[in-house]
Structure 1
């Protein structure tokens, strides 16, 4: 740096800012795409957990999982919130469930007949009713999480601690990376809340092989589900089917002389084609069924659905 030149954002008085290039937070991990796919299934499970408590059909969206330093995440949390620490064996170390305190208050209001729109003005602790619903809600949430992970690991969650002050949660050291999975919940008009699951990156590394091994199966399952939905949708499409009973040939002079009452002789073949969108898909015999003209399929053409 030349004399008198100001230091850039990364340095002070000409000195470079240290950066730990070997830190795990800078390393990509193949677990995040797998967790995001798990979260898609988990969002549907969370809907069934929240609906009976909120007395409403919630809209739930899963955000992409991100890696953050735990200390940075801690610094952004409110002074009072619901924090539940669980072991999640065989994953090493604990995981953290965070639910906004206002959301708990609104659910209590809705559960006991209110609108859920107005949050209770609170102090620094939950009421006995809120504590009771919170315990039930947290257990249901962590149970849904275990179900979503069931195809990866046979997770057995167990409550370690429940806190309302982020400073008392021993999930990881402030400089250690954690994976944050956030779900946005909108159970009532104009009201949104967030639910977050935090995994220390060291814990995810302990099940990384299981996640990686299941990724092809997850892709196949997703493709199979998509194909089934596509087949069901296509099955509802209506197409025009027709059959040709005869193809008489006329001279142009005969065609020009046609008048009302003229008779054109035709001979009906034994078998006639069934045509859909200009493609012959089957051969059938003309007959009668329940007093109506009908076509009985005798043979299906090969490659009838080919493009």
Structure 2
């Protein structure tokens, strides 16, 4: 065996085998984690958004996680929008929040005593009042996400900068695969509004990681779902193929023959009482649509 000696002042760089280091989770593996993260966010965010709805916490609904890129996010936005680059923890793991102009301007009109009227046509840029509101929305989202991630300094979320152009914001490589989660905010008597957050795989894998060595606990007896009286209890299970948001004006204008383009998620969630219990892919068995389970938890 030959030993090679590095020159004085040089330090050899270690090279590690990919098989030993392992690779990060795939997007398919991260979809269930993002679904659970979204469910926790839907419970914690209303309290932070109450300041924008007259003190009453609104109802927050989450959409189905969708895989995307910066290019697809930009293509889905037809009008003015604000993109906020946010960082998680001291390491500065990045994520992106997107607020379209119409919901923001509707909130501003209501804050000044209006009924939530949106100017038509929409302006080419956000007024100062909108910039101030966007800063408060980002702060509320950061607080809720910090709580979702455990409320520790390691995962504290903060806003970095915002821009109406993803090109100038340049948050990630334009070809990087992202997972996007849409959230719809509902308040009594007013039109719902929505926004979205997108995570690179590396960020999502870190904030949803579980400890390698969990605290051991004494074994406990749990009911066996395969035995009576539980085995025969019917449980409604929903396979969510498409979960989309449509503006009320467009929804009210729908007519027979209209075509709505939809995107089918790569992993289809199976839900019981609104909670995701498994994910799978759509297929066919004996001429019937079927779901093949890929993950169950």
Shift of 1:190: 5.9
Question: Residue 195 of structure 2 corresponds to which residue in structure 1?
Answer: 195
Shift of 1:173: 1.9
1:144-155 equivalent positions in 2, closer than 5 A:
144-150=144-150, 154-155=154-155
Shift of 1:157: 2.2
The separation in 2 between residues aligned to 1:74 and 1:143, in whole angstroms, is: 26
Task: Please tell me whether the aligned partners of residues 89 and 157 of structure 2 are also in contact (alpha carbons under 8 angstroms).
Answer: yes
Pick which of 62-71 and 182-191 moved more: 182-191
The separation in 2 between residues aligned to 1:111 and 1:173, in whole angstroms, is: 37
Task: Please tell me whether the aligned partners of residues 142 and 159 of structure 2 are also in contact (alpha carbons under 8 angstroms).
Answer: no
Q: Secondary structure at the match of 1:195?
A: strand
The separation in 1 between residues aligned to 2:27 and 2:136, in whole angstroms, is: 36
Residue by residue, what CA displacement relative to the aligned partner does 1:43-81 show, whole Å, maximum 9, x if unpaired?
122222223213365332111222223322222123411
Shift of 1:191: 1.7
1:176–1:123 Cα change, 3 Å: same
The separation in 2 between residues aligned to 1:170 and 1:213, in whole angstroms, is: 37
The separation in 1 between residues aligned to 2:97 and 2:194, in whole angstroms, is: 11
Residue by residue, what CA displacement relative to the aligned partner does 1:231-260 show, whole Å, maximum 9, x if unpaired?
xxxxxxxxxxxxxxxxxxxxxxxxxxxxxx
The separation in 2 between residues aligned to 1:183 and 1:52, in whole angstroms, is: 18
Give structure 1 stretches of 5+ with no counterpart.
Answer: 1-23, 218-307
Pick which of 101-110 and 31-40 moved more: 31-40
User: Is it true that 1:83 corresponds to 2:83 in the alignment?
Assistant: yes
Question: Residue 47 of structure 1 corresponds to which residue in structure 2?
Answer: 46
The separation in 2 between residues aligned to 1:123 and 1:65, in whole angstroms, is: 30
TM-score (norm 2): 0.56
1:28–1:120 Cα change, 3 Å: closer
Shift of 1:42: 1.0
User: Is it true that 1:164 corresponds to 2:164 in the alignment?
Assistant: yes
1:130-141 equivalent positions in 2, closer than 5 A:
130-141=130-141
User: Is it true that 1:66 corresponds to 2:66 in the alignment?
Assistant: yes
Task: Please tell me whether the aligned partners of residues 30 and 208 of structure 1 are also in contact (alpha carbons under 8 angstroms).
Answer: no
The separation in 2 between residues aligned to 1:178 and 1:46, in whole angstroms, is: 22
The separation in 2 between residues aligned to 1:95 and 1:173, in whole angstroms, is: 12
Task: Please tell me whether the aligned partners of residues 138 and 159 of structure 2 are also in contact (alpha carbons under 8 angstroms).
Answer: no
- The structure richer in helix per residue is 1
Q: CA RMSD in A?
A: 3.1
Task: Please tell me whether the aligned partners of residues 79 and 165 of structure 1 are also in contact (alpha carbons under 8 angstroms).
Answer: no
1:134–1:92 Cα change, 3 Å: closer
Residue by residue, what CA displacement relative to the aligned partner does 1:124-173 show, whole Å, maximum 9, x if unpaired?
12222222122112111121111111168831223221111232232222
Question: Residue 129 of structure 1 corresponds to which residue in structure 2?
Answer: 129
**Higher CA-based Rg:** 1
Question: Residue 185 of structure 1 corresponds to which residue in structure 2?
Answer: 185
1:149–1:211 Cα change, 3 Å: farther
> How many residues are treated as equivalent by the alignment?
192
The separation in 1 between residues aligned to 2:107 and 2:91, in whole angstroms, is: 31
Q: Secondary structure at the match of 1:75?
A: helix
Q: Secondary structure at the match of 1:182?
A: strand
The separation in 1 between residues aligned to 2:165 and 2:188, in whole angstroms, is: 27
